[in-house]
Each structure stands twice: as structure tokens, then as C-alpha cells.
Amino acid sequence: MKKVLVTGGAGFLGSNLCHYLINKGYYVYCLDNLFTGREANIKDLMKNKNFKFIKHDVLNPIDLDINEIYNAACPASPPAYQKSPSNTTKTCVIGALNMLELAKKHDAKILQFSTSEVYGEPLVHPQKEDYRGNVNPIGIRSCYDEGKRCAESLFFDYNREYKTKIKIVRIFNTYGKYMDPNDGRVVSNFICQALNNMDITIYGDGSQTRSFCYVDDLINAIVKVMEDTKSDFLGPINLGNPGEFTMLELAKKIISKTKTKSKIIYKPLPSDDPTQRRPDISLAKKLINWEPKIELDEGLDKSIEYFKTVKGDFNV
Ligand code: UDP
């Protein structure tokens, strides 16, 4: 039986991935320090004989007998990763080092959860993998952006120095079930605000754009990249949904779907908040024959159903 380690396995993407891998019949080790991950996300897996949760911080080395590692551990929403920025950089860099060492020891394949944040405030639109980005190295987002860039660099160096089997995916904005209602992202904020009839907070004038991928599409792609045997391409590979929307469009969609009485209010735009973001996914289409199937309207409907079950916890 294939033994797979998911770091950050109780987080939003990690827990969705753990469920997917268990359903595929693998043995899954789920590692999480529960800084932003939530036990509720994996509660239904705890009794499964093929699932083992280990409360552990990737800043500390660990030894497990595994065939594959998905390295997802890191706070990922701006308010969460800015809470302790130095810890975010450490998690990105030392966490990656510890997991690369583990992969090297067991000759395991390791896939890094990188991010569209490596492109910073992009001067090229849409973003292709060969665009080197425009990151402010000393801004409030740099702990995450530069941490994730350094992790990519480490992954390639382990491959060049030790022949470690690596894959890197750059993940664009993703949403859906098991999101923490309180992590401060735009989709969770807007839906929870709407369901609780609270003001909907647009930062800036709402003209900034993002491209939102429903989590099931993303997990499907990530596993395809890990299990791809046809291509020896290591990455990075953009994964996301190229549909691009302004935050004002998103707010209006959510208001109409939830039939809320909420009103839109405007708050200051945080510094270094990217103006636009949209993945060019032609590489993923070519290499793994993947493109997202769930468009924003359908994904929002599914997400609204999920957030109805957790809206009482919302206190952003
Ligand atoms: N945003 C917003 N209202 C909120 C939360 C976020 O207008 O309550 C904006 C935020 O400024 C950014 C966009 O929505 O322009 C996406 O933010 P998110 O934190 O979800 O993701 P990221 O900025 O990392 O892409």
C-alpha cells in the first residue's frame, strides 16, 4: 500500500487532499501543528485504519517510512501568515528543508505547494511559469512570498545536488469546503458576512482581480502532477482557474446567491495587495491534460452550503 505524508494535513487544502488520498486507498500520515489547521476538518478520518494524525511542527525533523510527501504546511491567508511573519518564513524554508531531507532519506517523491504569490504584483498578465515575478522583498507579504520562493529554490537544489524526486505546483486562489471561516480570505469573509447579514467588506475600490479555483478541481490536479509518470518535468506548474473576477463582482454574486440584506462597505486596501492575478494554465493542460471543470457560480453554490454549517463560528 502506498504510504503518503501530507504536511499541513488539517488545513484547508491539506484536509481536502487527505480525504482524496484515503478514498484512493492509500495510507495517509497527516502532520499538522494546528496553528491554522483544524481538527474538525479531519474528524471523520480519525477512526480510519489507514489514517494517522500526528500533531507536529515541520520546523522539527521527523522520520516516517513514506513513498510520497505533499508539503502543504504553512499559514496561507494574509492575516494568518502575517500574525507571526518570522514564523511564516521559518515554516516555508526550514519546513521545506526538513521534508526534503525526509524525501532524500527514503527516496520518496516530494511535491511542494507553492503559490501564485511568487509573482508578487505581476507586470505580466496572465502569469506564465517563466515570469519571474515582481515581489516586494521587504513588504508585509514578503514573509510568505519570499519564503515560498526560497522553498522552490531549495527544491531545485535538492534535485540538482541529491537527485531528490521533486514536483512544484504554483497554486492560485482556491476556495471551498474545509476553509476556516475565520482565516480572513475574501471568499470566506464575503460568504460568512452575507450569511450572517453583516456588512460585506471590500478592501480598496473592489477593482482588483483574482481567479478562483474550486478545491475539488485543484486537488485533482495536484495528485495528477504527483502521479504523472509520462513527463519528467519537475515544475513549477501553475494550477488554478483562469476565470478572472473583480472583488466587486464577487461580492455582488454572493449577495445575489445568498439573498442577504448585507450592504457593501469599503475598507483600506492592505499594502502590496496585488492588482490582478490570473493563471496561464496551458502547461498543466499539456502535461497532465487538466483544466478546471467547476466554474465560479457552481463552486460558490457548493461553498455557501458548506459555510452554512460553520457560519456561527465567524468572528473576523
Ligand atoms: N479582500 C476584500 N475583502 C475581504 C478580504 C479580502 O476585499 O474581506 C480582498 C483582498 O484585499 C484581495 C482579494 O480580496 O485583494 C483576495 O484576498 P485573499 O486574502 O482572499 O487572497 P490573496 O490576496 O492572497 O490573493
Can you tell me the distance from the alpha carbon of 280 to that of 126, in angstroms, rounded to the nearest whole number?
A: 6
Give the dihedral of Cα atoms 295, 301, 305, 307; nearest 10 deg.
70
pLDDT score at 79: 94
- pLDDT category at 120 given cuts 50, 70, 90 is very high
Tell me how long the chain is.
316
Cell of 226: 504527483
**CB distance 272 to ligand 1 below 6 Å:** no
pLDDT score at 1: 94
Whether the per-residue pLDDT at 262 is higher than 90: the answer is yes
Helical (H) or strand (E) element with 16: helix 12-23
Can you tell me the distance from the alpha carbon of 245 to that of 276, in angstroms, rounded to the nearest whole number?
A: 9
The minimum-distance atom of ligand 1 relative to the CA of 202 is 7
Q: What spacing in Å lies between the alpha carbon of 136 and ligand 1's midpoint?
A: 18
Query: What mean pLDDT is predicted for residues 188-208?
Result: 98
**CB distance 262 to ligand 1 below 6 Å:** no
Q: What spacing in Å lies between the alpha carbon of 63 and ligand 1's midpoint?
A: 37
Q: What spacing in Å lies between the alpha carbon of 186 and ligand 1's midpoint?
A: 5
Can you tell me the distance from the alpha carbon of 150 to that of 96, in angstroms, rounded to the nearest whole number?
A: 9
Domain chopping of the chain, boundaries: 3-174+213-239, 176-211+242-278+294-313
**CB distance 273 to ligand 1 below 6 Å:** yes
**CATH topology agreement for domains 3-174+213-239 and 176-211+242-278+294-313:** no
**CB distance 148 to ligand 1 below 6 Å:** no
Give the tens place of pLDDT for each residue, 264-306: 999 999 999 999 999 999 999 999 999 999 999 999 999 999 9
The minimum-distance atom of ligand 1 relative to the CA of 206 is 7
pTM, full prediction: 0.97
Can you tell me the distance from the alpha carbon of 52 to that of 8, in angstroms, rounded to the nearest whole number?
A: 13
Q: What spacing in Å lies between the alpha carbon of 309 and ligand 1's midpoint?
A: 22
With left for phi above 0 and alpha for psi between -120 and 50, is residue 181 left, alpha or beta? alpha
**CB distance 188 to ligand 1 below 6 Å:** no
What 3-state class would DSSP assign to 264? Answer: strand
* Residues assigned a catalytic role: 144
Can you tell me the distance from the alpha carbon of 255 to that of 260, in angstroms, rounded to the nearest whole number?
A: 6
What 3-state class would DSSP assign to 5? Answer: strand
CATH number of this structure's domain 176-211+242-278+294-313, picked from the four choices 3.90.25.10, 1.10.10.10, 3.90.1650.10, 3.40.50.880: 3.90.25.10
- Determine whether domain 3-174+213-239 maps to CATH 3.40.50.720: yes
The alpha-helical segments, DSSP class H, found in 107-172 are 142-162
